[in-house]
């Protein structure tokens, strides 16, 4: 704990314990539990020597340095947490709780999560999740904090998807947004109907937090749009708006990430999907 003070402070969250002695006792009990060996065997089975994860991270950060030469590549640590924490990200450090990302074939899975949330806890989601968090951070994603509309949230998330896609251009859209193959096919085929719902319900300039959550936050389905509409449909739609803006303006990544005004971005995108 003393040797890895940053991990101790930010990842193991000592403030959750009354004092350091209690923290040490509880961690010692956890990591001397016989089941922790099984968990480590599972990590070794899934991740091996971590070469694939290292390769994927290296490629993503090379792309980051291409678009942002001044960006610093953080130190990256992997941990078997006993399902304490999944991931911690700062400017200088990334800590990945590998036991969270063992996939659906794992002997043990994190407790207290719905199936639609567990689906994204698999090896292929680790690096996209990191890049999405980078893409939504204010360091790269310039936004107007005074704008509380649904459109502002949609565009901000849309920019984060565009950012992550540039860092990992070969990653399927379905992995980026945590959709199944069937779901990504469905939203692409029904883009005009999804857009029509947002227009008919006058959602773009909605600022009611509870209404926005239905379209932005993780859910198994966006039932307001349809029984087969996947969750977070507003973020997917924002992605399409930002893509259209880049196409119309012939804008590069840095330019679109620096566009603070979601209304300007939307207007200049000329986004009006029609039935194919």
Query: What is the residue-wise DSSP string for 185-232?
Result: HHHHHTHHHHHHHHHHTT-TT---HHHHHHHHS--SB-TTT-TTPBS-
Distance CA 166, CA 131 (A): 9
In Å, what is the CA distance from 220 to each residue of 70, 83, 119, 181, 187?
39, 23, 11, 15, 14
- What pTM did the predictor assign? 0.93
Mean pLDDT, rounded, for 176-198: 96
> Do 187 and 236 contact (CB within 8 A), yes or no?
yes
Distance CA 257, CA 259 (A): 6
> Which of residues 141 and 119 earns the better pLDDT score?
141
Task: Share the mean pLDDT of the chain.
Answer: 94
Distance CA 7, CA 13 (A): 9
Tokens of 254: 């840095």
Looking at 108-117, 160-169, 207-216, which range is the least confident one?
A: 108-117
Distance CA 237, CA 230 (A): 12
Q: Tokens 């924002």 identify what position?
A: 238
Name the helix (H) or strand (E) containing 51: helix 51-67
pLDDT of residue 91: 84
pLDDT of residue 54: 97
Q: What is the pLDDT of residues 233-264, one digit of tens each?
A: 999 999 999 999 999 999 999 999 999 999 99
Q: What is the pLDDT of residues 151-184, one digit of tens each?
A: 999 999 999 999 999 999 999 999 999 999 999 9
Tokens of 5: 């003070």
């Amino acid at each position: 704990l003393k040797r890895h003070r940053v991990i101790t402070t930010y990842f193991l969250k000592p403030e959750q314990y009354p004092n350091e002695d209690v923290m040490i006792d509880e961690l010692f009990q956890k990591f001397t539990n016989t089941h922790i060996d099984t968990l480590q065997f599972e990590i070794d089975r899934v991740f091996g020597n971590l070469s694939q994860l290292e390769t994927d991270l290296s490629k993503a950060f090379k792309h980051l340095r291409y678009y942002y030469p001044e960006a610093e590549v953080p130190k990256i640590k992997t941990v078997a947490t006993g399902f304490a924490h999944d991931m911690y990200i700062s400017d200088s450090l990334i800590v990945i709780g590998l036991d969270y990302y063992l996939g659906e074939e794992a002997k043990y899975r994190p407790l207290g999560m719905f199936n639609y949330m567990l689906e994204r806890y698999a090896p292929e989601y680790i690096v996209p999740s990191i890049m999405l968090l980078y893409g939504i951070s204010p360091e790269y994603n310039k936004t107007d904090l005074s704008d509380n509309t649904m459109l502002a949230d949609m565009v901000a998330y849309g920019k984060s998807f565009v950012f992550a896609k540039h860092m990992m251009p070969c990653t399927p859209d379905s992995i980026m947004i945590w959709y199944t193959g069937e779901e990504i096919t469905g939203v692409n085929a029904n883009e005009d109907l999804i857009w029509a719902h947002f227009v008919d319900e006058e959602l773009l300039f909605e600022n009611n937090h509870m209404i926005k959550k239905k379209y932005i936050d993780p859910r198994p389905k966006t039932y307001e749009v349809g029984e087969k509409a996947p969750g977070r449909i507003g973020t997917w739609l924002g992605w399409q708006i930002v893509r259209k803006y880049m196409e119309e303006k012939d804008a590069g990544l840095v330019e679109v990430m620096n566009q603070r005004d979601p209304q300007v971005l939307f207007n200049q995108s000329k986004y009006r999907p029609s039935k194919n």
